[in-house]
Amino acid sequence: MEEKKNPEIVEDKDNIANNPEGKKCKKGGIWIFLTVLFLITSTVLGWLYIQSRNEVKVVYVELDKTKTEKASIKKELENMLHQYDDLKTNNEQLNTQIEQQKTKIQQLLDNLDKVKKASYWEIHKYKKELGTLRKILKSYVHQVDSLNTINQKLMAENKEVKTNYKKVVGEKENLETIKKELEEKVDVAKTLRAINFNVSGLNKKGKPNNKAKKVKKIQVCFTIAENKVVESGNKIVYLRIARPDGSIITSSEYNLFEYQGNKIAYTAKREIEYNNKDTNMCIYWTNESGERLLKGTYYADIFIDGKNVGTTTFKLR
C-alpha cells in the first residue's frame, strides 16, 4: 500500500532544501533567543547577588548598632552607680533604698556583660529599664537635696540656738558675777567695824603695865562703828589674842565659836546692845592661871556675827 505524503510538508522540505538562506535564519533566531535568555538570567542573578550583599551589609550595620547601643547602656548604668555613690544623707531608710537600687543596677551590668550579641528585643528591654532607672534616680536626687536643705537649715538654726544659749549663759554668768559682787558689797556693808583700838596690860592693882611678868590682865578697848545697814540688837563680841609664838590665849579648851565653818578658840567674850550707832566698849582677859606671859608682839582680833571686824597689835616688854 503506497504511503501518502503531505504535500505541504513535502513542499517545505523542498523549500528548505532548495533554500540555504532559510536554514541560516532559523539558526540565527535560536541564538538570539539564547542570548536574550542569558542576558535576562545574568541580570536576574546579578540583581540577586547585589541584593544579598546589601542585606549582609545591613546585618553587619545592625550588629554594629546594637553593639554601640549596648556600650552606651553600660556606660549610663555605670554613671548611675557613681551618682548614687555621691548621694549622702542621714536618713537610714532612704540609704537602704539607695543601696537596693545600686544592687539592682549592678545586677543589670553583670547581666549585660554576659550578653555577647544583644538582640533588638534585649536592647529594647534594657532601654526601657534604663528609662525607669533614670526616673528613680531623679526622685532620689530630689529627696536627698530636700533632706540636705532641711538639715542645713536645722544646723543653721541649731548653731543660732547654741549661739543664743551661749549668749544667755554668758549674760547669766555676768549677772551672777554682778549679783555676787553686789552680795559681797552688801555683806561688807552689813559688816560691823571695830576701830580706835587701845590695848593695855594691867598689873595686879589694875594699873597699866606692859611688862610681861607684871601683867595680870589685858584690857582691849575699841569702838564699834556706826552702821545703819546692820540689824540692831544684842551682839556677842569675841576677843581672840595670839601670843608672839602664835598660840591662842584661852581660859578653857571649850571656849570656841564658829568662824567660816570651823570652830576656833577665843580669849574672852562680851554681849552688848547695838543700836546702829558708835558704841564704845572694852573686853578684859584675866590671867587666872598666873602663867608668865611672853615678851613680844601680840595680836588682838575682834569677831562679831562670825566675821573678823577688826585687828590690832600690842607689845609686852
Judgement on whether residues 73 and 221 belong to the same structural domain of the protein? no
Structure confidence at residue 187 (pLDDT): 59
Beta-bridge partner residues of 311? 301
Q: Are residues 181 and 220 located together in one domain of the fold?
A: no
Of 189, 223, 251, the domain-final residue: 189
Q: Are 217 and 245 found together in one domain?
A: yes
CA-wise closest residue to 301 among 219, 238, 227: 238
Question: Based on the domain organization, do 179 and 202 belong to the same domain?
Answer: no
> Are 234 and 228 in contact, with CB atoms under 8 Å apart?
no
Residues 49 and 164 in one domain: yes
Q: How many residues does the chain have?
A: 317
pLDDT in tens, 279-293: 999 999 999 887 889
Q: Residue 241's pLDDT is what?
A: 97
Identify the segments of the chain with pLDDT beneath 50.
Answer: 1-4, 6-17, 54-63
| Amino acid 32: pLDDT | 78
184 and 236 housed in the same domain: no
Q: What is the pLDDT of residue 198?
A: 97
Residues 141 and 254 in one domain: no
Confirm whether 14 is domain-assigned: no
- Written as one string, the DSSP assignment of 159-178 is HHHHHHHHHHHHHHHHHHHH
**247: domain CATH number?**
2.60.40.10
| SS3 state at 239 | strand
Task: Note the pLDDT of residue 152.
Answer: 78
pLDDT-above-90 percentage for the chain = 36
Answer yes or no: is 3 within a domain.
no
The enclosing H or E element of 274 equals strand 268-274
Indicate the number of domains in the chain. Answer: 2
Q: Find the domain containing 159 and state its range.
A: 21-189
